[in-house]
Structure 1
Amino acid sequence: MSIRLVLSTCPDDATAQRLARTLVEERLAACVSALPGVVSTYRWQGRVEQAGEVQLLIKTTADRLDALTARLGELHPYELPEILAVEADGLPAYLGWVAEQTHEEP
């Protein structure tokens, strides 16, 4: 089984919680951890910006990644949301749980 850790930032706690709940309810993610207090520095439209954000750590499978990416793009308030996926390895039982929780229901 191939697991992915998806990173995405949100502008505030309310948005982070709404996105997290939706992704888990729709079985696109097994778990979403929200890390508050992130300060992002980035260049946007020719200017260097800084903003307080909430970092989401989204656990899913490679099979569900496209659907998760599409849904997150629909729901996200940013014009260009951060959606980065990295391959994850770990405790086999946990990886199995992620796969179980993201399995599409018939």
Structure 2
Amino acid sequence: MDAVCMVMTAVDTEAVAEMLAQQLVDTQLAACVQVMPVKSFYVWQGESRREAEYLLLIKTRTALYAQVETFLLAHHPYDTPEILQLPVVAGASAYLQWLVAATR
């Protein structure tokens, strides 16, 4: 079976999160994208920040990661977006088969 992964990114508005999620699924770059509100604490350009954001958990095949990253870089509102690939080392067989079938 193809290797699968999860890609994480965060954006500043729910509308942008939903737009990215829908486009990723519509283009079959992702089988599923979960969007959830989070609070992020970080230092940016020497300033301590606390921001409300929307976290996207993007489920895809490992072979599609480069395309997902390229899509996110082209459509993400941040200058330096968080884009992290997390390997999936195990999962329910039926779910993983669906994930692979739902992506191109």
Q: TM-score, normalised on structure 2?
A: 0.95
CA offsets 1:35-60 (integer angstroms, 9 cap, x no match) = 12x11011111111110001111000
2:72 matched residue in structure 1: 72
Q: Secondary structure, in 3 states, of the residue corresponding to 1:74? A: helix
Does residue 63 of structure 2 align to residue 63 of structure 1?
yes
For the residues of structure 2 that align with 1:98 and 1:10, how far apart are their CA atoms? 24
TM-score by length of 1: 0.93
Structure-2 separation of matches of 1:63 and 1:100: 13
- 1:85 pairs with 2:90: no
Equivalent residue for 2:26?
A: 25
The one-letter code matched in structure 2 to 1:12 is T
Cα distance in 2, alignment partners of residues 77 and 27 from structure 1: 21
Runs of 4+ residues deviating >2 angstroms: none
> Which residues of structure 2 form unaligned runs of 5+?
none
Aligned length: 102
Match of 2:5 in 1: 4
- Alpha-carbon separation, structure 2, partners of 1:78 and 1:85: 18
Gaps of 5+ in 1: none
Look up the match of 1:34.
35
**Aligned amino acid, residue 56 of structure 2:** L
**Which amino acid is 1:77 matched to?**
P
Report percent identity of matched pairs: 38
What is the distance in 2 between the residues matched to 1:19 and 1:73?
Answer: 11
- The corresponding residue for 1:51 is 51
Q: CA RMSD in A?
A: 0.7
- Partner Cα separation in structure 2 for residue 72 and residue 98 of structure 1: 20
Q: Distance in 2 between matches of 1:95 and 1:66?
A: 20
Shift of 1:93: 1.0
